[in-house]
Amino acid sequence: MQCPSCRADECRVVDSRVAEEGTAIRRRRQCLACSHRFTTFERVDHAPLTVVKSSGDIEPFDRTKVVAGLAAATKGRAVSADTLERMATHVEDVVRLNGNEVSTAVVGLTVLDELRGVDDVSYLRFASVYKHFDAAADFHRELELMEKSAPRAVASD
* Residues at the contact surface with Zn ion, assessed by CB under 5 A: 3, 5-6, 8, 31, 33-34, 36
Calculate the CA 75 to chain-centre distance.
21
- How far is it, in rounded angstroms, from Cα 136 to Cα 142? 10
State the nearest-atom distance from the C-beta of 24 to Zn ion, in Å: 24
Measure the N-to-C terminal CA separation of the chain; round to a whole number of Å: 52
Contacts of 38 (CB under 8 A, 6+ apart): 3, 4, 5, 11, 28, 29, 31
Q: Pick the closer one to Zn ion by CB: 12 or 140.
A: 12
- Of 5 and 89, CB closest to Zn ion: 5
Q: How far is the CB of 34 from Zn ion (least distance, A)?
A: 3
Which residue lies nearer to Zn ion by CB, 38 or 77?
38
Give least dist CB 130 to Zn ion, A.
Answer: 51
